[in-house]
Amino acid sequence: MKCFWKCRKFIPLFFLLAVFLLTGCSAEKPSENQKSPEKVPQESSSSDITTDNLSSDKITQALPQKDSDTSLGKGEKDKRLEEKVVEKVDVKHPFPQHVSYIKGTLKPGLSQEEMDRTVGKFYKIWKDTYVTKNPYEDEAQYYVWYSGNKYTKAVPDKSVAVTVSEAHGYGMLTTVLMAGYDNETKEIFDGMYSYYKEHLSSIGPHLMAWQQSDNGSALIDGAQNGSMADSDSDSATDGDLDIAYALLLADKQWGSDKGIDYKQAALDIITDIMKYEVDQKDWTLQLGDWASLSPSDSDYYTGTRSSDFLLGHLKVFYKVTKKKEWKQVTDKTYGIMEQIFTKYSSHTGLLPDFIIKNKKGKYEPAYKNFLESENDGNCGYNACRDPWRIGTDYLVTGDKREKELLIKLNQWIREAAENNPDKIMAGYTLKGEPTGSYSDLCFTVPYLVAAMCQDKNTPGAQEWLDSLWSKCSVLNRECYYNDSIKMLCLLVASGNWWTPLIF
């Protein structure tokens, strides 16, 4: 199986401002030498761990070790999470929660105890592999190690990218939902919040800089092509959405009356998302705060990313802020989904990675290499997450605007894969033709959540769901992107996803 490290296009702030000053308008598409590296295929190394009574320590020991050329040198401070006993804290809604989703949907055909045990064991694997302590700060700061690479003194003049805001959002969501599973969750979550506060966008003051790199003495923002110097950086919308949502969960989990005011921190981010990451003429989610500096008639200003369609988050933001603008964003997002589904994917229910607004004011799949790759108009490494994100909201809210798309999506993937999860391919055109000749877990595991949205009376629905759970619940390690999506999908599938509104 191939595994791709997830990355985003980066448009530096100095470039945007230079163009603005010289031309009286904001930046157009970056030139080739300003692009961030494309996703690079990585060979997946995994060790299947299936023994039920295998201890957490043995699971960690059974995982593949890092290559020797990226190991720490003698005397260097270890960047992995330090194991230690911490004081127990009051957890109001500890894992497991066993939330009841809307009537008529499905759950995997295992006992709740079995599912909870699997989620807990995989959390231990995920945490030990990816949750990393910042070695350069006295204050505890944690991030999710995404790149598979480390800074090495063998190449002293080149920084190494180690994390992105997308990963940080996944980490904060996972940690707050797993609170109570062990004694470290609040320490890690607060350390992730501290890390976020140290790495803010140069545009939206409460949004997170999208990538950090290790230069051997600090974790820096805005480093391109191995630069050793810190510079201006901008945001990516999905990371900000997840971080804000996680902080709202933290307010319900631990309260905001002592220490960090989680709710106010969330509200600050939500305010900046609306100001810097929403097109307030069309009420669409933009690609990041950098897009707000682009010309208002450009594809970068009006373009959107389907994997940012976090409808459950948007609905919560509306309820928490009581601002009608969030309802407008929610309704417009559904409208875009409906346009794409009706005209381009009525047979599949798929959405493309990126969507642009044409000259007639209609939304359509982006053209090749719009932002990341020739598959920008297909269901690729961004849109692969849509069945999970859309499915999660349907399980919680039962919003009828998602139902038809999910019905078609489930019908199509079962037919395309011949009811065999191993045959789900890594990418499809909107018409359902594979764009890859291999499978990848980040495409497979989101269908676990989508499969739960089938009507319980649909023939073969339960068997399909159970086969996906069997495929996706194996206790192994692949890469940050696959494993983080898997972690969150397992939480949803086991009934352990909840919203700030239910308590």
Residue 238 is a catalytic residue: yes
Residues near 163 by beta carbon (within 8 Å), at least 6 away in sequence: 132, 143, 144, 145, 146, 147, 211, 212, 219
d(CA 131, CA 140): 12
- With 0-12 / 13-18 / 19 or more C-beta atoms within 10 angstroms meaning exposed / middle / buried, residue 25 is middle
Which one, of 55, 95, 291, 294, lies nearest residue 181 by Cα?
A: 95
CA of 81: how far to CAs of 84, 127, 131, 161, in Å?
9, 8, 6, 18
Q: Report, in this order, helix, strand and coil percent for the chain, each rounded to 5.
A: 45, 10, 50
Q: Which of 435, 434, 439, 438 is nearest to 471 (CA)?
A: 439
What is the DSSP-derived secondary structure letter of residue 214?
E
Report the candidate in 37, 48, 254, 228 with the shortest Cα–Cα distance to residue 148.
37
Instruction: Kindly calculate the radius of gyration of the chain based on its CA atoms and give it in whole angstroms.
Output: 21
Structure tokens at 237: 């919308």
Measured N-to-C along each axis, helices 386-397 and 311-321 cross at an angle, to the nearest 10 degrees, of: 50
Which has the closest alpha carbon to 246: 309, 178, 183, 198? Answer: 178
User: Which position among 116, 214, 234, 238 bears the catalytic label?
Assistant: 238
User: Which residues are known to be catalytic?
Assistant: 238
